[in-house]
A and B are shown apart, each in its own frame.
Chain A
């Protein structure tokens, strides 16, 4: 049981390049999330998904796109990277039942630098 995994762990991009970050979870969780964390700040939600085939915008969605084609995977795309997108990106997942909210499980993060 690997939990939440993220690929890659590190990446350096040049301004204008594109890339996709992959998040995978093996806990059969319905909900998945992408956050970014900048130095000295908390995590900010980029996009999230409440189920396969559904996505929604979070607090800071501009410049990012996401897809959830399979329940276990949540992809985050940067179409044209900018230096302002230099950050550490975290993926998370959580289960949901009729009883409400449960904890989120986080991946180890992807450190992205855009030069």
Chain B
């Protein structure tokens, strides 16, 4: 199984601070994706990083991938109240229907 485990389970910060979430997995992968879920809504894709990449940026998001440690991190800089959501990582392998396995996520709360 390529299921990722997010850590911490919950994170509370003040607006303007940076938020870091981690993801660990157990098997070899081809890529890893991060998704955001606002309360009661569907998941929204944030970023995809491939196994031959070490770091990727998208706006205020920075994702790292360390395949030797089987871990990834998601950094959100200058957090805003609108970033309050659950964040999920999804490591996967190419093929096999592009199936994703999600962990329980990190619940981020950004307070004003």
Interface on A for B, CB 8 Å cutoff? 4, 31, 33, 40-45, 48, 50, 56, 58-59, 90, 92, 94, 96, 100-109
Contact = CB atoms under 8 A, between A and B. Distances in A.
Interface stretch (B61-69, B73-81, B98-106): B98-106
Contacts of A33: 99
Contacts, number: 60
Interface of B: prevailing SS: loop
Contact of A31 (B98, B101, B103): B98
Interface string B76-112: 0000000000001000101101111111110000000
Nearest to B1: A59
Interface of B: 30-31, 33, 40-45, 48, 88, 92, 94-95, 97-105
Residue with the highest number of chain B CB atoms closer than 10 Å, among A45, A58, A103:
A103
Contacts of A31: 97-98
